[in-house]
Amino acid sequence: MIKEYLDNVRSYLKDLPTDEREELLQFYEEQMLDAGYSIQDIEEKYGTPKQFARSLKIEYFIENDEVADDTVPRSTRTKNRMNLVWLVVLGLFASPFLIPIAIGVIGILISAIILFLGILFSIYVGIIGVLAGGLIAFVNGVILLWQSVATGVFYIGAGLLLTGAVIFFAPIVWRVTRWLFEMLVTFIKWVGNRYLSKNNVKGAH
C-alpha cells in the first residue's frame, strides 16, 4: 500500500534528478514505515500522491534556487525559476483548502505576473520604437541633406542621439528587467513557502 502510494508520488516527480528523487522517497518511506502509518494516515497527513508530489517539487525548486551559485548556468537557473512560477500557480489553482485565501492570492499573483509582463512589454516596445525612430531620422537626414543641409544635419544628429541613447540605456533596462524578475521569483517563493509547502516550522508548545 505504502509502496503503491510512493510509486504514484514517484511518477509525478519525473522532472527531479534521479538521485535527489530517490533520496527523498527513501526518507519519506522510512518515516511512514517507522511511524507505522496506515494509508489513511498518510493521505490525511500528505494528501493525494499528486498533492504530495507537488509540495515536494515546490520545496525542491525553492531550496535549489537558494543554493544555486555561479556554477549553475544562468539559462538553467531561469528555466528552473520559470518552472517554479508555473508550479506555484498550478498549485494554488489545485489547492482545495483555504479557498478564499487562495482566490485572493491567485488574484494578487496574476496581477503581479501581468504587471511584470506589462512593464517588460512597454519597456521593450519603447526601446524598439526609439531605435526605429533614430534609424529613420538618420536615413531621413541623409536624404534631406541634398535639399537642405541644415535640416539634413538636424535629422542626422537626432537620429544619432536616439540610437546612442538606446545603446547607452539598454544595459540599464536589461538590469531593471532582471531585477523585476528577481522580485517576481522572491514573491513566488514566499507564496510557495507560505501556502503550498508542508515545510512550515511549527513552534514549540
Partner 1 sequence: MNIQVPTTVLDGSVLAVLTKEDTYGYIITKSMQELLGVSESTMYPVLRRLKRDGYLETYDKPFEGRNRRYYHITDLGVSHLQEIVHSWASFREAVNSLLEERND
**Could you list the residues that contact partner 1 (CB under 8 A)?**
23-24, 26-31, 33-35, 55, 59, 63, 67, 197-205
* CB of residue 5 to partner 1, shortest distance in Å: 15
CB 85 within 8 A of CB 185: yes
Is residue 185 within 8 Å of 84, Cβ to Cβ? yes
Phi, psi of 201 (to 5 degrees): -80, 120
Identity of the residue, 3 or 74, whose beta carbon is nearer to partner 1 in the bound complex: 3
- Compare residues 100 and 203 and give the one whose CB is closer to partner 1: 203
Residue 122's identity, in one-letter code, is: S
Nearest approach in angstroms of CB 167 to partner 1 is 43
- Tell me the Cα Rg of the chain: 26
Q: Are 65 and 185 in contact (CB under 8 A)?
A: yes
> Is residue 159 a contact partner of residue 138, using CB atoms and an 8 Å limit?
yes
The residue (of 23 and 182) whose beta carbon lies closer to partner 1 is 23
The least distance separating partner 1 from the CB of residue 203, rounded to whole angstroms, comes to 3
Q: Tell me which H or E stretch contains 171.
A: helix 149-191
- Residue closer to partner 1 by CB (options 23, 149) is 23
Q: Minimum distance between the CB of residue 23 and partner 1, rounded to whole angstroms? A: 7
